[in-house]
Amino acid sequence: MRIKISGFFLAFLLVSISGMANAKGCIKGAAVGGVAGHVAGHHSVVGAAVGCAVGRHNANKQAKKDAAQANNVTPNPGTSAPSNK
């Protein structure tokens, strides 16, 4: 019981001092990863951490794609830029 209380206190402390974070994609990924980790052998925390990382990666890819599309630039650097005639 003491270990659980100290673990919760440590988690609260880390969250409270971390400041503002951009968690776009992390919440959804952590939820899906936590469920998948639980089903795959009671590894919910590991699944949530990996799901958060994957969710952030996918959100960053989508943000880059959206920014490139907004700037009318092709997302692949190997292709030529569209002409503005």
Q: Is residue 85 part of a domain?
A: no
Length of the chain measured in residues: 85
Q: Is residue 58 part of a domain?
A: yes
What does the pLDDT read at residue 1?
73
Q: Is residue 84 part of a domain?
A: no
Alpha helices in the chain, H assignment, sequence order: 2-17, 26-39, 44-70
Residues 6+ apart with CB under 8 A from 69: 75
Q: Is residue 36 part of a domain?
A: yes
Q: Is residue 29 part of a domain?
A: yes
Q: Is residue 65 part of a domain?
A: yes
> What gap in Å lies between CA 43 and CA 26, rounded to an integer?
18
Q: Is residue 44 part of a domain?
A: yes
Q: How many domains does the chain have?
A: 1
| Residue 17, phi then psi, degrees to nearest 5 | -100, 0
What does the pLDDT read at residue 77?
61
Q: What is the CA radius of gyration of the chain?
A: 19
pLDDT tens string for the chain (85 positions)? 777 787 777 787 776 665 555 677 888 888 899 999 989 888 888 989 998 899 889 988 998 999 888 887 655 666 555 556 5
Domain with 36, as residue range(s), is 23-71
